[in-house]
Structure 1
Amino acid sequence: MTFSTSHLPSVNRRRGLFIFLGVAYIGMWAAMSPLLISGYRRGDAREETGALEEVCIAAAMLAPALAAILVVRCVERSGRVRDTLALKWTKPWGRAARACLMAFVVPAGLTTAALVISTFAGRYPFDGVHWNGLGAWAAAAVLDMLVSLPLFFGEELGWQGYLFPRLAGDGDRRSLIRAYAITGAAFALWHLPTLLMGGQYPGRPWYVSVPAMLVSCLLILPVFTWLRLRSGSVVPAVIGHAFVSSVSVGIVTEFADPKAALDPLHMSMVGWPGWIVTGAFVAFLTLTGRLRPSFYTARNVHHSSSIRRPQAPVR
């Protein structure tokens, strides 16, 4: 697949990028301002979020999508929002369905591998697998993730639907490197208000949490992009993001000693164990060419030609 952005005038594309980032960032800071003003700080990874925190988080997560829709409709005028932001279920449907399944399987595998590394390093207080009730817990965790899925559309319609394709352009090597780097950095720094309040790294100062989040986003973004590229739809990237931000976090808590302190920097996808396993997976995707849009264009052309190839007559 390729991203159809070359038809956009460079002035419109550049203006659209600045407006998108401005609205997305202003929306985040505005949504988080009640918590920042009140002096809210998250000091424990097990701490539950209250009603006000949930409302602020939900509003913030919708900002990138609103920014993307605003730019597509009012600045670029580049066509239907649904098509431009890949908010569709592409054909063949089986390919998109497999990508959605991978959006569950891959983050689950990466999370498990990260916890194994952390356990052997003596940083994760593994309490064993309690099989009784495990199925009910897993079902509840997935259900909670699906309920929150619309909020993750709010983020990924911005990052994967709008920003990455605009930066990737025609998909040459330099443009792709720039797209992965800038989108990952923008994705990380957009979280700055929550990082200042200890959101992802409770109890950590900003000069630790901000670089850690930057590394985490630069590594996980190619995984979400891979899900988007292989399906031609933003939906699998949304599911992958939702899994990492909800179920993956729940896995860390579920299998830990309930009395032990939890430090995400040492035992999760946003900590150094997660960086190791995610970095290894991204290296695999890079070496096999799966992070290039042209990889999927060539595969789709080959698949289509195979389907249309006439059969030899029976003699």
Structure 2
Amino acid sequence: MKLRSQNPILLYLIFTLIFSSVVWVLTLNAPNAGRIAGRMFGYGIMWCPALATIVTFKLTGRKMSDLAWNLGKTKYLWSSYLIPLFYSLVAYLIIWSAGWGDFYNLSFVNDTAHEFGWDTLPHWLFIIIFFIMNGVIGMFAGISTALGEEIGWRGFLVPELAKKMGYTGVSLTTGLIWGIWHYPLLVFGSYNNGTPAWYGLICFTISITAVSFIFTWYRMKSGSLWTGVLLHASHNLFIQSFFTPITQPNAKSAWYYDEFGAVIPAVIVVLAIYFWSRRKELTSIGEYLS
């Protein structure tokens, strides 16, 4: 049965909620989930938007091949990889300079070097090698999870919203929906830094809404959902797998570092304003939705 007359955005959001609810319950019911279970739940939740897109397309008579699978211009792909590295580096340089955390976390470096069997390497050399390996090899794992979300958020939702509103409205709406989608695990789980729930929630919401302006700009400019995949994967990779763990926390760190502290949202907001100021460079809907 095809539901061509139905609101595809509403269908997508309903199915995203249904599928995500299953993973939310499983995750919250496993507070002691280790590496294996945590990875499975993580993959599961990040592929719910893609699954919702598939069902929505099936019900509305669309084809998944209609999504913006083309790679687009190489410069936009490289920029999508490098921009999260840039704002993460700026944020953590501020954090280290202000004394809200120190470079570097000796325990993390020693433990990680030991896992690789590189205990004898000087710390400075191991950090460089780990940064390069993480930034290259780690991207494959990051892309495999980010793709699940981006098929939904930037592949489907952004183009659909762009039929009804402009760049600013699309960015705000997508960012808020994307942020709220994380709330069940943020509020009821342990997906934060240990600060009060309201504080982490505010920082995270500002961060994800602001970064949506960057993601939307590249989606519209490039005509490719792969820019969103690379932005998303790079954001998660450098913040979660390098800069946060490489930082030695202190009593103030939880309030300032990682995705639930104040610095990263502040830096991203500045960058979001920059991309918003360039909104007139975006082409018409017909040129970037396919």
* Bin of the TM-score, shorter chain as denominator length: 0.7 to 0.9
8 Å contact 2:24–2:184 — kept in the other structure?
yes
Residue 159 of structure 2 is aligned to residue 165 of structure 1: yes
How far has the Cα of 1:228 moved from its partner? 1.8
8 Å contact 1:20–1:71 — kept in the other structure?
yes
How far has the Cα of 1:108 moved from its partner? 0.7
- Report the counterpart of residue 88 of structure 1 in structure 2: 70
Change (3 A) 1:31 1:290: farther
Which stretch of structure 1 is more off in the superposition, 24-33 or 57-66?
24-33
Change (3 A) 1:244 1:290: farther
Change (3 A) 1:197 1:23: same
Q: CA RMSD in A?
A: 2.8
The equivalent position to 1:98 in structure 2, one of 72, 75, 82, is: 75
Identity of aligned residues (%): 21
The equivalent position to 2:127 in structure 1, one of 124, 134, 139, is: 134
Q: Which amino acid aligns with 2:95?
A: S
The equivalent position to 2:268 in structure 1, one of 270, 278, 300, is: 278
Runs of 4+ that moved beyond 4 A? 259-265, 295-298
8 Å contact 1:156–1:234 — kept in the other structure?
yes
Count of aligned pairs between the two proteins: 268
The equivalent position to 1:109 in structure 2, one of 69, 83, 86, is: 86
Distance 1:191 1:205 in 2: 16
Distance 1:231 1:296 in 2: 13
Q: Which amino acid aligns with 1:51?
A: I
- Report the counterpart of residue 27 of structure 2 in structure 1: 35
8 Å contact 2:170–2:216 — kept in the other structure?
no
- Report the counterpart of residue 23 of structure 1 in structure 2: 15
Task: Give 1 or 2 for the bigger CA radius of gyration.
Answer: 1
Structure 2: gaps (5+ residues): 106-121
- Report the counterpart of residue 59 of structure 2 in structure 1: 74
How far has the Cα of 1:218 moved from its partner? 0.6
8 Å contact 1:219–1:275 — kept in the other structure?
yes
TM normalised by structure 2 equals: 0.81
Distance 1:69 1:111 in 2: 33
8 Å contact 1:65–1:157 — kept in the other structure?
yes
Which stretch of structure 1 is more off in the superposition, 106-115 or 17-26?
17-26
Q: How does 1:133-282 map to 2 (within 5 A)?
A: 133-142=126-135, 143-169=137-163, 174-195=165-186, 196-199=188-191, 201-257=192-248, 260=250, 263=253, 265-282=255-272
Structure 1: gaps (5+ residues): 1-7, 42-48, 299-315
Distance 1:100 1:209 in 2: 30
How far has the Cα of 1:269 moved from its partner? 4.8
The equivalent position to 2:97 in structure 1, one of 115, 120, 128, is: 120
Distance 1:210 1:179 in 2: 21
Change (3 A) 1:263 1:22: farther
The equivalent position to 2:38 in structure 1, one of 40, 53, 66, is: 53
8 Å contact 1:152–1:238 — kept in the other structure?
yes
